[in-house]
Amino acid sequence: MNSLATVPLFIVALIGLLTWRLSPKSDTRLVVLGAAMAYLANTPVLFWLGWTLTTLPLLKGQAKAPKLVLLASTGLLGAGFLMAAWGPSPWAFGLIAAAALLRKGIFPFHFWIPMAFETADLGVVNLMLNSHLGAFALLRFGVPLAPEVARQAIGFLAVLALFTAVYTALLATVAKRPRRILALLCTSQASFILAGIENRNLEGITGALIHWVVVSLATSSLVLVYQALENRTKEVTEPAGYLGFGYHAPRLAVFFAINMLALVGLPGTLGFAAEDLLFHGSLESHPLLGIGLPLATALNAITGYRLMTKLFLGRRSQATPVIPDALPQERWALVAPALILVAGGLFPNVLVALRAPAAESILSVLGSR
């Protein structure tokens, strides 16, 4: 199971570096430190401490719901670990699973993520969510703790994740504010990770683990591009119409388009390889997932295109506020995720080989269908 942590640890470190580079005022140090401690932890106590550190910056936010959810998830995780210390127990697995569902925003706990996006520091919220410690806690500690219970419960958790993916994708199609749209997109696509584990075949689980990388990189880049626009003009926070920023910031528009297309599985990107494995594995073992996940992806593609046109197209250059294009430090920061997503799409075998050992470990515990 140690191979499960290697790639996500690198991704979190990269996202933390890029966020710090583009938003020096963002309090990302605790999140990166906590995520690194959690991924490297070999005991539940150290993992819980890392989990707790990642939530501390968000406890300063204005909205109460995110604070309460994060505090509840931290308490449930600690209670689960304490109960597990007395021996394997279905109740311990249930508490760890509940903590994971709360943190990941799985229905009916999805409401707190849009609130956090709209009221807290975008960079910190994005980094905390894309550490994906909820899914990691479930796979690293919950499933090995009670394999028999996990085999029975993972189907129910996957159905919740699938419903979350489709439901939040539908909500995103009618959302107005860009921050809310990004929050719902992140929630929907991230739900694929937990849903994909239910495949219980090597192809589907590998696809879910690769999609973990795609979601982390692509959504982080989308957030960073939007944050760059927000730093330039407040008109972007509640757009009354099409803003047309692509006229004066074509590089930001291109970075946004590349990551949005990779997120929804454009051929030639790592997102296509991840979703191809994920969907094929779903069709073989769980037809409901094989139908629901492509539906959610199609809805998210529509939403992503709508957001991109609203931000970057649709207005003549004379009517568009003049804003600077991507600055040199922004270009270098945004190039790194885009290169990984495109290179990964051209040479997917490299990442498949990196994630396969973790997929085999998960499959050996859960068992195939």
Beta strands in 149-216 (DSSP E): none
Residue 329 burial class via C-beta count within 10 angstroms: exposed 0-12, middle 13-18, buried 19 and up? exposed
Confidence grade of residue 154 (pLDDT, cut at 50, 70, 90): confident
Which of the two residues, 240 and 157, has the higher pLDDT score?
Answer: 157
9-36 pLDDT, tens digit each: 999 999 999 998 888 777 788 999 999 9
As given in the structure block, the two tokens for residue 86 are: 């007395």
Using CA atoms, how far apart are residues 15 and 217, in angstroms rounded to an integer?
7
208-217 pLDDT, tens digit each: 999 999 999 9
Closest of 90, 115, 105 to residue 193, by C-alpha: 105
Residue 282 near residue 204, CB atoms below 8 Å: yes
> Residues 132-151: what's their mean pLDDT?
88
- φ, ψ of residue 43 to 5 degrees: the values are -135, 150
Number of residues that this document lists for the chain? 369
Confidence grade of residue 61 (pLDDT, cut at 50, 70, 90): low
Cα angle 329, 331, 337; round to 5: 110
Using CA atoms, how far apart are residues 10 and 28, in angstroms rounded to an integer?
15
229-286 pLDDT, tens digit each: 999 988 898 888 888 898 889 999 999 999 999 999 999 999 999 999 988 888 777 7
pLDDT for the residue numbered 316: 65
Which of the two residues, 4 and 317, has the higher pLDDT score?
Answer: 4
Using CA atoms, how far apart are residues 19 and 21, in angstroms rounded to an integer?
5
In three-state secondary structure terms, 86 is coil
* DSSP annotation string for 219-250: HHHHHHHHHHHHHH-GGGTS-SS---GGGT-H
Helix (H) or strand (E) holding 350: helix 348-366
pLDDT for the residue numbered 238: 87
Provide the whole-model pTM: 0.94
Using CA atoms, how far apart are residues 158 and 192, in angstroms rounded to an integer?
9
Domain range annotation of the chain: 3-366
Average per-residue pLDDT in the chain? Answer: 90
Give the number of C-alpha atoms closer than 13 A to the C-alpha of residue 19, restricted to the C-beta side.
29
Q: At what angle do helices 29-40 and 122-129 cross, to 10 degrees?
A: 10
Using CA atoms, how far apart are residues 355 and 208, in angstroms rounded to an integer?
10
> Residues 337-366: what's their mean pLDDT?
91
pLDDT for the residue numbered 102: 95
Confidence grade of residue 86 (pLDDT, cut at 50, 70, 90): confident
Residue 133 near residue 54, CB atoms below 8 Å: yes
In three-state secondary structure terms, 286 is coil
For 74-78, 158-162, 313-317, which range has the lowest pLDDT when averaged over its residues? 313-317
Residue 273 burial class via C-beta count within 10 angstroms: exposed 0-12, middle 13-18, buried 19 and up? buried
Using CA atoms, how far apart are residues 263 and 105, in angstroms rounded to an integer?
19
